[in-house]
Chains A and B, each alone.
Chain A
Amino acid sequence: MVFSSNIFLLYFMPAFFLVYFLTPRKARNYVLLLASLIFYAWGAPEFIIQLVASTVANFFLVRWMCKTDKKGLKKLLCALSIIIPLGLLIFYKYGNFTMENLNAILGLTGHAPLTWKRIMLPIGISFFSFQSVTYTLDTYRGVNKPMEKLTDFVLYITMFPQLIAGPIIRYCDVADQIRNRESTMDDRLHGFYRFVIGLCKKILIADVIGAQVDAVLGPANFSLLEAWQVSDIFTRVAELDSTSAWIVSLAYTFQIYFDFAGYSDMAIGLGRIMGFKFPENFDNPYTSRSITEFWRRWHQTLGAFIMNYLYIPLGGNRRGKGRMYFNLWVCFLLSGLWHGASWNFVIWGALHGLFICADKLFLGNVMKKIGKLPSVILTFLLVNIIWVFFRIEDFSLAWLLIKRMFAFDFALLPFSGNVQLYVTMIVAAFFSFFTLTKLGQNVQEKVYFSSFTNGQHIFVWLVAAFALVFCVAALNASDFSPFIYFRF
């Protein structure tokens, strides 16, 4: 189940909140747990048993780990507790990838390929696996005590607002809130506003822009209804003029940000309605002045995870500069691979790792010297170009798009003057960069983090209510393609 669907917006969410708020406070976690299991089972019924079983196993392993005084056993149990979720992640996410590459090697060496049944990737596995790891390690390090109740731990792992796409919530950040939390009327209303903001980002910006990106970079579709969708993808990209190529890459840059940030907003909003304070995941990443800063602002909870559970254990910057660069690069390489089991993600991660190293070596200083706006623009363009490798799996196709971007054969208003695309991209650009100004920062601070007066609440509620209705309208109207009569 995804948030931007009828089943969630019109059925699951209302029913859940009604039951949740009518339930006595002490029993609300059970309602949330049950709803989370239903939420997950709806999208991945075959995996729910494994999810619960591995979570339960982890709970008891960590409890055992905390009770034992034997260091060796403690370490063993800690390792086991990490291996279970990471093992599942590796199996499900990288099984196909490993077999494909193995067969490619076998093919090159003249051996017959191995046959295997393709493995379905369970939704959200990348997120809840990492959360399970944070629980084990935070407990092992003594940052937090282990959960006393099994249901609380299962709830921490499976809580539906953040189950599918994060934020990755460290155990230490949420442990107390699971046991005891307060949901004020302000929280509930602000949570609702935040949810609607996220929904708007997803439906009114990301999906609209994404339709054009998919028309160019999506699979060929032999219908004559949309001229862009019919030819071979290489032909489509090869025929792009430079303006179109830039528009496509910029469109994807905005699409992925508003899609992901929108989802995080919805998760944070849903959590806040219940009294949870989930960590922020995005902080205007496209206003960054360097790739290093970009990673402080983009997918912050992943960044924090990598920093705390990978970079520092690898030695961080404590073992000399050479090792630091190596550690950084490895972290981003693995971060790339975490995003998807494909070489293009590895390239994407490796490029970010390289530029972060370059920042430390010289690029950071250059960016500081050229001033705020040029450095923001340069960083944005760099991020934009690197996103091409994230979107396009085939390296040669990605390279072709980049070549088209720099072919300098610009055309005026391509895509048949798709005004909606242009307007939406302007809106996306505005909201991506408006915090560069003081006014923008103030507005963001006010909307996201400040308390409202009653008058402000009424105004914002009316806007949010209309936006919610409009999003549901957009969600459904875009799929309604009737014919005059039935055709056969």
Chain B
Amino acid sequence: MMRIVFRIFADSMNHFIMKNLVKVILFTLTGLLLFASMFQKATHVWDFKKLNGVEVPIPQPSLTFQNCRDGSFQERTEGYLKQNFGFREPLVRLYNQYLWDCYQKTPVGAGILTFGKDGWLYEPWVVADYYQIQFRNYAYDSAQMASMLTEEAHRVLQLQQLLEPYGTRLFVCQVPAKDLICPEHLPENQDKRFDDEPKISARFFNEEKYTQLGVNHLNLEQWFLQMKDTADFPLFPKTGTHWSYYASLFAADTLIRYMEHLGDINMKNIVIGPRTLDKAHNSDDDLESLLNLIRPLPNSQYYYADASIEEDTAAVMPKLITVGDSFWWSISNQIPMNSIFSSSPYWYYNSTIYFDDNYSSVNEVNLAEQLLSADFIMLFYSATQQYKLNNDFTKDALIALCYDPEEIASVRTTLEQIIRSDSSWMEKLKDKAASQYKTLDETVNNEVKWLINNNPGKYFPALNDSLPTKRSRCVDAYFNIDSLTFIEQEVEKVIQQIKGDEKQMQDINQKALKYGKTFEQALYDDALWVVNYKLEQGILQIPSRSRKNSCHGKNQSKI
């Protein structure tokens, strides 16, 4: 009986499958198609070329009753899944290639680049800056922008003057941008909204202001402009936004010459090796790479060369802190910085510090100590980034040099309390935190920072002086480290003298027995007393920090 039932069932199934075979297969394939993304995500069976460019990663949220109830869990999960699903890379490239082939455009709303003439690519803000309307992203009008730039130039001067007595040279390097060097390929200005308004360009305004105030500055942009017609290599690539990889080597050489001049020192020379032509790579096609196409664009060839450092035992190896934008990568990636500088941390947008293949946040370092330990501080921004006023570096630096950490913390705490006690303010910050995928504490901290940087003189009045005289105890502490080292060295000298004198050794032995100390302790205490006595009597003097005067004379052997 069972056999008959099974037979009937099997026959009917067979009949059904044979009749619907194609449809069953197609339906099964539909299921597989729908599950393909999940499968790829879980197994990574296929390895795809990663998408170029960086985006702010959305963290995978953890589920709580509250975030599920208010919908933030769902919102974040959808955001996370948009960045993390199987086949993302080929799918994005597929659509990008379609847009490029059919319409010569990038995805709607991306706004990451603008098409110039003859296939040249530009960043939109670079184009806007050429037409002098970029400032509208930072100020209501040109007068406000001029005021902001003027204040910042004064802060740079304050910082330069404040650091100079400590042997730290601060200077500005104005980095060339593609719009000014290659304007012939720029698209026409589509944005006519501000045609009737006065305009302002940070690059020209700053150049004039720095000259007028006496701020140390090197205008590489003007230098690039001058050599544009004579250079036998492209200064800017067609499909990249940064200076050409090859041109940046010459910019680095000029920078070193400038530092030698500013510090009156001798530094090592860069040797640029023989150049070779190759298809664009590294930053020379960084804009094209953002297109994330399947097929690369037909590309121009560019020069590339190896850079080495000439051996020079008499040369000085200063410490350089670079606070700047991404143009520095071309230099730091090509030149062995450790052969020229004793240390060369890169404070990227005054946010992340890159050093020796490591990185940390600027918030994690003792700012005053870092500033004082440097021989050179370079503010290194291209034209479009100059509206960002050095990313608040000058404000942070002035505050750190003039105020004790406790005073800074006190201001921050007071502001934080004001914010947290205002419910409507906190509501706005909650929304902001959610939209930016940040914690509320982080957002409140940023708000405090914004308040301070928006009006630093209000909270730290010493900054209103033309040259602040107030000093943080961190400054003294930094130099006291040298004093202590000096004292320790002198104590050691006295100990050695005592050890060479048998009578004194017996005296120390007796003192140790009398006061219940070990012999070593009694010996040290006695030597320390001698050194302190000499200091009080003026027989000994703590010298100023030895490193600090080193840059004033040429051919110093050691920094």
Q: What residues of chain A have their CB less than 8 Å away from a CB belonging to chain B?
A: 5-7, 9-11, 13-14, 17-18, 42-46, 185-186, 188-189, 192, 208, 211, 222-227, 230-231, 416, 419-420, 423, 454, 457-458, 461, 465, 468-470, 472-474, 476-488
Contacts and interface: CB of A to CB of B under 8 A. Distances in A.
A132 B408 CA distance: 62
Contact of A480 (B38, B51, B74, B351): B51
B63 to A, nearest CB: 12
Contacts of A484: 53-54, 241, 283, 286-287, 289-290, 326
15 contacts: A189-B23, A189-B27, A223-B111, A224-B136, A226-B109, A227-B190, A416-B190, A419-B105, A469-B94, A476-B95, A482-B51, A485-B54, A486-B349, A488-B348, A488-B351
Given A419-B105, A482-B55, A484-B289, 8 more contacts: A13-B34, A14-B35, A18-B31, A230-B193, A231-B193, A469-B94, A472-B91, A480-B55
Given A224-B136, A458-B26, A488-B391, A481 B94 contact: no
Interface residues on B, range: 35 or more
B109 A481 contact: yes
Contact of B29 (A465, A480, A481): A465
B107 A481 contact: yes
B102 A477 contact: no
A369 B388 CA distance: 67
B11 interface: no
B55 A185 contact: no
From A226, A416, A478, residue with most partner B Cβ within 10 Å: A478
Contact of A483 (B86, B112, B352): B112
B85 A10 contact: yes
Interface string B68-86: 1111001001100110011
A223 B99 CA distance: 23
A480 B329 contact: no
B133 to A, nearest CB: 7
A479 B106 CA distance: 11
Given A208-B108, A420-B103, A42 B74 contact: yes
B350 interface: yes
B545 interface: no
Contact of A14 (B31, B286, B329, B352): B31
B92 interface: yes
A192 B23 CA distance: 12
A6 B84 CA distance: 10
Contacts of A42: 74
B292 interface: yes
B38 A419 contact: no
A387 to B, nearest CB: 22
B108 to A, nearest CB: 5
Interface in B35-92: 35, 37-38, 51-56, 68-71, 74, 77-78, 81-82, 85-86, 88, 91-92
B92 A476 contact: yes
B24 interface: yes
A10 B91 contact: no
A86 B37 CA distance: 42
Nearest to A196: B30
A42 B125 CA distance: 38
B26 A474 contact: no
- Give the top 5 A-B pairs by smallest Cβ distance, nearest first: A482-B53, A225-B111, A477-B95, A185-B23, A14-B34
